[in-house]
Amino acid sequence: MDVENIGYVYEGLLEHTVERAKEVILDLDATKSAKKPWVGLEELESAEEEGGKAVERLLKERTGSAISRVRNDLKKSVDPEDNARLLAACHNDQSLCNRIAPYFHLLRIDSWGYPLAYPQGSYMVTTGTDRRETGTHYTPKSLTEAIVTETLEPVAYVGPAEGEARENWRLKSSEELLDLKVCDPAMGSGAFLVQACRWLSERLLEAWQDEERAGKCIRIDGKSLDSLEGGEPLPRDVEERLLVARRLIAKRCLYGVDINPMAVELAKLSIWLVTLAKGRPFGFLDHNLRSGDSLLGIHDLDQLRCLDMEPNRAGSGRKLFAQAIDQAVDEAVELCKRLRQRLILDIHDVEAMAELDKEARRKLELPELIADALVGEVLAAGGKEVDTAALSIKVGQAIEGNAEAIDALRRKTREVLSTDLPNGKPPRHPLHWPLEFPEVFERENGGFDAIIGNPPFLGGKKITNFLGVSYRAMLVQHVANGRRGNADLSAYFCLIFSRLLRERRLIGMLASNTLPQGETRRVCLNQILENGYTISRAVKSLHWPGRANLEVSIVWIFHGAWKGKVILDGKSTDCITSALEPAGDITGEPFRLRSNVGNAFQGSNIRGIGFTLEKKVAIEFVKTNQRNRDVLFPFLGGKDLLSSADHQPSRWVINFFDWKEEKSASYPELFQIVKERVLPERKKIKDKTKQRLLSRLYWQYDSQAKTMYKKINTMNRYLVHPFTSKHHVFFFYSPGITVAHTATVVTLDR
Residue type, 304: L
Q: What angle do CA 294, 296, 297 make, to 5 degrees?
A: 85
Question: What does the alpha-carbon distance between residue 686 and residue 465 come to, in Å, rounded to a whole number?
Answer: 6
Q: How many other CB atoms sit within 10 Å of the CB of residue 276?
A: 13
Question: What does the alpha-carbon distance between residue 427 and residue 406 come to, in Å, rounded to a whole number?
Answer: 20
pLDDT (0 to 100) of residue 689: 78
Instruction: Kindly report the backbone phi and psi dihedral angles of residue 679, in degrees, each rounded to the nearest multiple of 5, phi listed first.
Output: -55, -45
Name the E strands within 544-609.
551-559, 566-568, 571-573, 600-602
Residue 618's Cβ-count burial label (10 Å; 0-12, 13-18, 19+) is buried
Question: What does the alpha-carbon distance between residue 122 and residue 117 come to, in Å, rounded to a whole number?
Answer: 10
Sign of the Cα torsion 295, 301, 304, 306 reads negative
Question: What does the alpha-carbon distance between residue 103 and residue 111 come to, in Å, rounded to a whole number?
Answer: 19
Strand partners, 732: 719
- Which among 454, 677, 445 has a CA at the least distance from the CA of 554? 454
Question: Can you tell me whether residue 399 is helix, strand or coil?
Answer: helix
46-59 burial, b at 16+ Cβ within 10 Å, e below that, comes to ebeeeeeeebbebb
Question: What does the alpha-carbon distance between residue 731 and residue 581 come to, in Å, rounded to a whole number?
Answer: 30
pLDDT (0 to 100) of residue 26: 81
Question: What does the alpha-carbon distance between residue 539 and residue 327 come to, in Å, rounded to a whole number?
Answer: 45
- Which among 676, 536, 488 has a CA at the least distance from the CA of 150? 536
Question: What does the alpha-carbon distance between residue 284 and residue 595 come to, in Å, rounded to a whole number?
Answer: 63
Query: CB under 8 Å to 722, separation ≥6 — which residues?
Result: 638, 639, 641, 642, 729, 742, 743, 744
The Cα-based distances of 651 to 155, 574, 624 in angstroms read 57, 51, 19
Sign of the Cα torsion 641, 645, 651, 655 reads positive
pLDDT (0 to 100) of residue 231: 83
DSSP assigned state of 421: P
Question: Can you tell me whether residue 625 is helix, strand or coil?
Answer: coil
- Which helix (H) or strand (E) segment holds residue 504: the answer is strand 501-512
The Cα-based distances of 372 to 158, 210, 428, 475 in angstroms read 40, 47, 10, 16
Strand partners, 18: 125
Contact of 626 with 728, CB cutoff 8 Å: no
- Which among 426, 468, 467 has a CA at the least distance from the CA of 262? 426
pLDDT beneath 50, residues of the chain:
1-10, 12-13, 16, 128-129, 131-133, 135, 585
Question: What does the alpha-carbon distance between residue 679 and residue 439 come to, in Å, rounded to a whole number?
Answer: 55
Instruction: Kindly report the backbone phi and psi dihedral angles of residue 251, in degrees, each rounded to the nearest multiple of 5, phi listed first.
Output: -70, -40
Question: Can you tell me whether residue 476 is helix, strand or coil?
Answer: helix
Supply the pTM of this predicted model: 0.73
Q: Where are the domains of the chain?
A: 22-121, 292-428, 600-746
Strand partners, 224: 218
pLDDT (0 to 100) of residue 697: 93
Residue type, 230: G
Question: What does the alpha-carbon distance between residue 517 and residue 523 come to, in Å, rounded to a whole number?
Answer: 10
Residue 233's Cβ-count burial label (10 Å; 0-12, 13-18, 19+) is exposed
Name the E strands within 83-216.
117-118, 123-127, 157-158, 170-171, 182-184
Question: What does the alpha-carbon distance between residue 434 and residue 329 come to, in Å, rounded to a whole number?
Answer: 9
648-661 burial, b at 16+ Cβ within 10 Å, e below that, comes to ebebbbbbbeeeee
Count the residues in the chain: 750
Q: What angle do CA 311, 316, 320 make, to 5 degrees?
A: 100
Question: What does the alpha-carbon distance between residue 153 and residue 167 come to, in Å, rounded to a whole number?
Answer: 13
- Which among 293, 292, 275 has a CA at the least distance from the CA of 284? 275
